[in-house]
Amino acid sequence: MFNHEQMQQLISAYTDNEVSLTERQEVEAHLKECASCQKYLSELQMVKKSLKIWSNETLSPDLEQKIKQGLAKAQPRGGGEMKNSKRAMALSLTAVMVVVAMVYVTVYQGKTRLAKHLNSAVDDIGDKFILREVGKKLDKKTWDNNIRREKSQRAFEYQQLAKVVRGADGAGKDELFEKQNADRRGTVQSQPSTSELAKGIRDEKVDQEFWGKPSGGGENIKGALNVEYMLSDKFIVAETRKENFNTEQYDRIDENGFLAAKDNPLSTFSIDVDTASYSNVRRFLNDGQLPPQDAVRIEEMINYFTYDYPQPKGDGLFSLTTQGAKCPWNKRHDLVLVGLQGKKVDLKELPPNNLVFLIDVSGSMQPANKLPLLKKSFELLVEQLRRKDRVSIVVYAGAAGVVLDSTPGSEKEEILEAIDRLEAGGSTAGGAGIELAYRIAQENFITHGNNRVILATDGDFNVGVSNDDDLVRIIEKKRNEGIYLTVLGFGMGNYKDSKMEKLADKGNGNYAYIDNRSEAEKVFVNQLGGTLLAIAKDVKIQIEFNPAKVKAYRLVGYENRMLKKEDFNDDRKDAGELGAGHSVTALYEIIPAGVDDSEEVDDDGDTDTSFSKVDPLKYQATKIINSGDLMTVKLRYKEPKEETSQLLQQRVKAEDIAEESPDENFQFASAVAEFGLLLRDSEYKARASYDQVLRRAKRAIGEDEEGYRTEFIGLVKKAQSLSAGQWSDRETMD
Amino acid sequence: MGKKDEELIADVQAGDPVALEELFMRYKISILNYALRMLKVRADAEDITAEVFLVLSSRSQTYQPVAKFSTWIYTIARNLCVSRLRKRNRFVSLWFKKDGEGELVAFDVPDPNAHDGQGHDQKDMAVYVQRAIAKLPLKQKEIVILREYQNLSYEEISQVLAISLAQVKILIFRARERLRVDLDPLIKEASDV
């Protein structure tokens, strides 16, 4: 009997061209006569085709650079055959020792002077490392100086390291290797494995980045920050400012353009915003560089600042503020500000908190931007607690179990001491974990209080539950019993961000991503109410423009938050959350109806093009309602426990547009926006200028208790001189 | 294109850093995507990718011209992936759940920013494909990845996985049997177009 299965196996190999000539002929002959095998062949081909749907991804330029640098480091310099491997080992040993030193230093930070010295040495390594790469494009003299400095620095460090490692009880060093070698069954390796090197490359960059300057944005996924990303931006910028800027470093932002109100009367977006871009821009400017254009997300810069919007009246959760005036950078246009203010909850009035911190102290939490930052953040939080609050600390991995029993918030010393004792490292221990954390929360449950487990981790976390489905079940069960889950992410790449949020979501909690000290301050001090208490979720804004009054409009920023107009009323569509006391600001640049654009010629000699490129409709006659409104602002939100949204509306009348708004909020927000347009060299910047920005910002500086606005003014000045310098550089280069 | 891979690795053995970088540029995409398909987790895949080239560099002397260079680099990559997978089984991750086979499946999170209709479907389909492959027994899965995505020949696959050529043929046949069934809805959709 003819064996079809065998034939099919042949056909399978045939589709891969893995058959001999005779086999090929056999298959082809058979296919001519057998319909079912023909079918089989085409099915296989379809399978092959559909597999391709899972397409390839690219390396981020950042990863590529890191690997190249790692290779260059590991590679012996210069020729010689036998010596190479020894040198490579020595170099990689040095690299790992530096990593070990940084780790060691992290753990015992502040306890030795050496630690401080090494910190600054490491700080320098970061910068020099970069300079050296950039040095390839600089002149030889600078390059030589850099190399010399770096060599002598490394020699010095190696010396110091030798002292440290020999002198101390070696605990730091062994801990690191122990963790890495846990699965090598006790044999401690005396030379670094490449996996350590590779991991070292990743962590080292993270450490350098953190010790150097505060990091910030870089990605446009909500709440997400990619620390590692930052380093390569830094060294690319220096060399490419003078050449074509490589726009692949950041996801390209295609700015929102002007839309004709007649064709697109609705503008819809989610309020979910970070403030990361501002921190990032700040970092570049403090380093003496202009930030890459795509790193400037204007809405994040505007929202970094707090504005003096009125509190909602009565039981309301929000207040909606609208302001209009002439657009400062384009006098033919108007600028409308939409401000959303969440209800502030006085910290004293916050319901009593029953908090259980579940902290990941596994080895991977060692770098500075993880456990040490976490500890600092908790210290900030503890300062805010009251007698009616209770705090407990549970750790997992390392010292298993309860580090601090439930303690009143007034016993600050005791709590702070317990936090201080936390150390990363050590092998995995069974035992304590999320179940323990919830148990303690249960035992100290406060009726009508905020009962919450706060999980702090870098993501690589063994929660002590045997499988993940159990974990989710526990979280959901506890949520139904009134114990919520907040998740704090430290030092993680942005790809895990949405998952962390999802877990917090299941736990009816919130999540925050803490990447540096200033962010920790924001989350735990300035916006503590918002952190502990979200007042609304799925908050969306939709604005309808009146074509009779508005010819065209442009939303400044929020490119990544845009929603489809149908999503506004669709309660199934997620959007952002608003914490207590948080505010959100959006600016629309408006071309009023009746402004004759054909006369408008800007500096380059271009004229504004007409906006409506759409043919008039044939089967519908749009009747524009007679109204004095400029636009209507609608807001949808859900209370934290609800699944149905509520609606708020507010009209903005055309006559409300003033010549120049005296309102500080408007002045300052528009100054920040104008600054953003300049940094982006936006095609919509029109007559924006640094002087204008400074003038308005200075006038609107207000109380500025935290000093952020003053800092802003300083940054604008820096940017101003940098961009002036850039122009003169170009001239001398010609 | 210039030198062949085998010539480049010989240069690397002699200590030439340019050759090493050239090899990296040639194989970076393949290795990254191989690791991504094996490990699913981007951070792990990036670590492995870096490691592969470091090993290439530090243990270049172990390469014998008897085997093709590509076979060698994939063997390295595979070994690293497999040990990473083994290590993973110890941990219950906060971010991934394990399905029946111990395969890590990320918590299902629809990207809130994916509002583009086109993009949405594409992503769904890719996830569909990923799941179908994830369900395959380990060896079959590895063969499918090496054959369909990394385009290795049966001979090369047999060397990387250290199994016989006959086994490769049979296993890929079996894998396709399963995929035919699992991907059926996708195939139907595609043929309706």
Higher pLDDT, A231 or A496: A496
Among A71, A84, A563, the residue with its CB nearest the CB of B115 is: A563
What are the tens digits of pLDDT across the range A262-280? 888 999 998 865 566 777 7
Which chain A residues are within 8 Å of B50, Cβ to Cβ?
63, 66-67, 70, 198, 201-202
pLDDT of residue A132: 34
Is the pLDDT confidence value at B171 over 90? yes
Cβ A75–B97 below 8 Å, yes or no? no
Tell whether the torsion through CA atoms of B32, B34, B37 and B43 is positive or negative.
negative
Is the pLDDT confidence value at A83 over 60? no
**pLDDT grade for A543, boundaries at 50, 70 and 90:** very high
Is the pLDDT confidence value at A557 over 70? yes
**pLDDT grade for A506, boundaries at 50, 70 and 90:** low
**pLDDT grade for A692, boundaries at 50, 70 and 90:** very high
Which chain B residues are within 8 Å of A16, Cβ to Cβ?
147, 153-154, 172
pLDDT of residue A106: 52
Which helix (H) or strand (E) element contains residue A268? strand A266-270
Which chain A residues are within 8 Å of B186, Cβ to Cβ?
50, 53
**pLDDT grade for B94, boundaries at 50, 70 and 90:** very low
Most confidently modeled range among A195-199, A248-252, A343-347, A475-479: A475-479
Among B55, B115, B126, the residue with its CB nearest the CB of A194 is: B55
**pLDDT grade for B158, boundaries at 50, 70 and 90:** very high
**pLDDT grade for A290, boundaries at 50, 70 and 90:** confident
Q: Which residues fall within 8 angstroms of residue A721, CB to CB, at 6 or more apart?
A: none
| B7 CA: distance to closest CA in chain A (Å) | 17
Taking residue B102's Cβ as centre, other Cβ atoms within 10 Å add up to 10
Which chain A residues are within 8 Å of B134, Cβ to Cβ?
none
What are the tens digits of pLDDT across the range A114-139? 444 444 444 433 333 333 333 234 45
pLDDT of residue A70: 82
Is the pLDDT confidence value at A522 over 50? yes
Is the pLDDT confidence value at A384 over 80? no
Average pLDDT over residues A325-344: 90
Cβ A53–B125 below 8 Å, yes or no? yes
Higher pLDDT, A168 or A590: A590
What are the tens digits of pLDDT across the range A395-406? 876 444 777 888
Instruction: Give residue for tokens 């009348």.
Output: A653
Nearest by Cα to A321 from A635, A646, A551, A545: A635
* A90 contacts chain B (CB < 8 A): no
Average pLDDT over residues A586-614: 65
pLDDT of residue A478: 84
**CA A456 to CA A486: how far, in whole Å?**
9
For residue A525, what is the DSSP state? I
Tell me the DSSP string of A325-374: EE-TT-TTSEEEEEEEEEPP--GGGSPPEEEEEEEE-SGGG-STTTHHHH
pLDDT of residue A338: 92
Instruction: Give residue for tokens 């054959």.
Output: B147
Substitution target from B54, B59, B105 for chain A, most A beta carbons within 10 A: B54
Which chain A residues are within 8 Å of B169, Cβ to Cβ?
9, 12-13, 18
pTM above 0.80, yes or no: no
Average pLDDT over residues A167-189: 36
Return the minimum-mean-pLDDT range out of A284-298, A463-477, A716-730: A463-477
* B34 contacts chain A (CB < 8 A): no
**Percent of residues, chain A, with pLDDT higher than 70:** 61
pLDDT of residue B65: 84
Average pLDDT over residues A238-249: 27
The residue ranges of DSSP E strands in A271-317, in sequence order, are none
ipTM reported for the complex, 2 dp: 0.85
In three-state form (DSSP H/G/I as H, E/B as E, the rest C), the secondary structure along A461-491 is CCCCCCCHHHHHHHHHHHHHCCCEEEEEEEC
Average pLDDT over residues A223-238: 27
Is the pLDDT confidence value at A241 over 60? no
Is the pLDDT confidence value at A209 over 60? no
Average pLDDT over residues B7-24: 89
* B119 contacts chain A (CB < 8 A): no
